[in-house]
Structure 1
Amino acid sequence: MERVDAKGDVTAGPSAPPDAPVAEGVRLLDGMPRQRGPVEAVPVRPAAPEGAAPGRRVLRPWRLLPTPTGTPFTLTFAAVLLVTAFVAEHADPALVHALHQGSSTDVAHLLRTPVFVLVASALWVVGGVTSPYAVLFLLVLTALERRIGGLRTAGVFALGHVLATLATEVPVGLAVLVGWLPVSSLHRLDYGISFGVAASAGALAGLLRPWLGWPLLLVFGGTLVRDLIAYTDPMTNWGHVTALAIGVATWPWVRRRRRPARLDL
């Protein structure tokens, strides 16, 4: 029996048994064998854990919360907030008010000790650990830190906290200067993590897949706009909207520094 080698030459060869398997890379067409090119290596995916559906990504809910090795910045920050929340809940009310007043980023404190109050004001949670912003803090900063690292997450949080604070307090100072607001507005109590959380949420929306990132941005942004329209606390509400916009503005920066994703939320 004759066969065709890789160069197309006809050579003699032993007859194959009728039931012999056809060699990989060769298929018969009209009774004549034809040589295919080299077979490319196909990457092999690791087997799914027992009980998981084949081809599906296994979600690990515990990765939604901070861990010592995965998200050290968020975990440490959360521990500090727990301590200050405990103090605010159980300490003498007069002492708590004095601490809040000393940490406030009002115009008077920003003129005297700007760095101190900008840092200290972010160590308190308005409404305690059960407030919506405390829950958002854990979920949003954990997800953000897993994608861009702790140092950059701290940078996004600080950027939103500082710029949104200045964007709301500087107009107050100018309004007092020209006589549009009373002098007491210079001592308006202002503290909390909400500006930093809003900026972090805006940044995170640019790192998630579109089917989740855009709904997060629309729902969170819609809530902030609704609060602004209600006009219950316009300065704070404007600060939240400004912080969210600052987070969105960081998209080009955070996307360039994104870690390889281990969990697509």
Structure 2
Amino acid sequence: MTLVLALQANPEPLPESVAASADALGDAANHAATVAGAGHIDFLQLVLHASLPVQLVMLLLLLASIASWLIIFRKRSVLGRAEREAERFEERFWSGSELSKLYAGATERSRDVGGLEAIFEAGFREFNRVRQRRGVDSRAQLEGAQRAMRATASRELDGLEHNLEFLANVGSISPYVGLFGTVWGIMVSFQGLANVKEATIATVAPGISEALVATAMGLFAAIPAVWAYNRFATKVDRISTRYDAFSEEFSSILQRQAHLEE
């Protein structure tokens, strides 16, 4: 009992070897905690350290993504304006206004008409032009107006569909382009193991990580392009159906007017 009390009263320091070992373990634990806390992905460093072909693939995908987003914002504005203009013109057309007044408003010099109004203007202009000929029956007048409306509707839809093909191509090709960059980067990484005696996961991990960024960029470019293409293609189909329905209804009105004038 006396010996225990004496040891507690006068504790002896640990040997130097044991203290050094404890300090080393503490430093190792602190280092591991620091690495775990800083375990984030630096995409910029991965891109800068990638091989030249992989960097070219990433640059191509980046340009494709930027072009896709520019088209997406512009196409969203164009289709939205086309829908609003169609709604406004249909309200004026079915409000009981005279066809001649609507035609006069559509042919004003200071106005640039499009959509349903352009279809109406083309059909009514051709109807009046054919009607002024002598000896032309009502069927010929109606057929001329319908041809003019179909041609104008085709031009309007072609403008709405402009650049949709690019979005479709980016959405379908970008993943394969990114996969090509990934395969190339992995081949380069494994080729570098030829001069290494002991191959470990730490040897090839940096190269594989750099290569996988190409696949990620391919998906980053493809997913918005596919979504936008599907959405805009559906909108164009709805607008096309709207144009066709208006052309049929306006043809019926012109047919009744032609029969009344006979």
Normalized against structure 1, the TM-score is what? 0.24
Greater RCO (Cα-Cα under 8 Å, separation 6 or more): 2
Report the TM-score when normalising by structure 2. Answer: 0.24
**Greater radius of gyration (CA):** 2
